[in-house]
Structure 1
């Protein structure tokens, strides 16, 4: 079975492929948006992670006919009242500028003491296949560092220290991150729904 991940992010594609393989779903071929004919992609205008993920998965399914997974994820920082939230990827103004986004967050937290630097990575993942629509949510609690550390991962990984660890998520191996991360948690919640079409 082909499964479309509605993303061009090669790291997200790799993450989903590793999770499916680790869970024994090796009969599913994961493809990304670069592997299918192009179609108009709606902008992420929903006010919630859930709304954005579901809209992307519906668009992908309707355009390709392939069972489709989409995610929307970001970081919710306690001292910023849950922001950047759905604006995480464009917090600094330009979409996807990880370095600028991270620099802005660290600047905003400059005077916040260590004990108030709590945060959570949030990921909602949506699966759409015909009339079947499912949305799940994974969260990963931790704290924000004062300086970036590590080169693995992307986004805010270099400034996020997961609970129970003293390294950032950018200092974890891909396998360690898959086992712990918000996206890994959300994608594993989707597995029962992915197994059904895989058997068909």
Structure 2
């Protein structure tokens, strides 16, 4: 069977490998801008995860002609009015590390008793006949401090406490976290739909 090509709007080798594993059973080979050798850095100007995800998937489809998908994700904190949201990767300004951003969030939240937060991920897909998106969420709480000891995760995981595990995401091996993650939930919805158009 000839492999069909699906373009993924990501620069992350780790994410690309994960997507290849998920889509391989459908006979798809994943290509990325990096693999194709094309410059790709569309400006994410929308105020929603859906909007920013579509900016990436639409632009990649325009550039390659391949059916294209993208994801956009971040963390939203109730007491901060949903911040950082779509600005999760840029929260606190340019040049900050993941740890700096997490500490900035903790500082901004202060001693507020409302620690509710959720991670969101939107996967969008664009081809000649479709423009669809799927969202996954995982609910949790913002811890009172930064986990210096956790070996896993990235981004805001050291301050994101997941009640069902009784741990922060930074304390949970990737395989375990991926069973409940926002990205996994969004991808499951996407794959469920994707099977219907094969």
Q: Structure 2 length normalisation: TM-score?
A: 0.88
The structure-2 alpha-carbon separation of the partners of 1:136 and 1:68, relative to structure 1 and needing over 3 Å to count, comes to same
CA offsets, 1:108-144, max 9 Å, x none?
123223xx11100011110112121111111100011
Pairwise CA distance, 1:184 = 0.6
Residues in 1 aligned to 2:135 and 2:37: alpha-carbon distance in whole angstroms: 29
Question: Which SS does the other structure have where 1:29 is aligned?
Answer: strand
1:136 paired residue number: 134
Unaligned regions of 5+ residues in structure 2, if any? none
2:49 paired residue number: 49
2:146 equivalent to 1:147: yes
Residues in 2 aligned to 1:71 and 1:42: alpha-carbon distance in whole angstroms: 13
How does 1:1-200 map onto structure 2 within 5 Å? 1-20=4-23, 25=25, 27-94=27-94, 97-113=97-113, 116-145=114-143, 146-148=145-147, 149-195=149-195, 199=198
For CA contacts below 8 A with separation 6 or more, give which structure has more relative contact order.
1
Unaligned regions of 5+ residues in structure 1, if any? none
Q: Structure 1 length normalisation: TM-score?
A: 0.87
Residues in 2 aligned to 1:15 and 1:156: alpha-carbon distance in whole angstroms: 20
Q: How many equivalent pairs are there?
A: 193
RMSD: 2.0
Residues in 2 aligned to 1:15 and 1:147: alpha-carbon distance in whole angstroms: 28
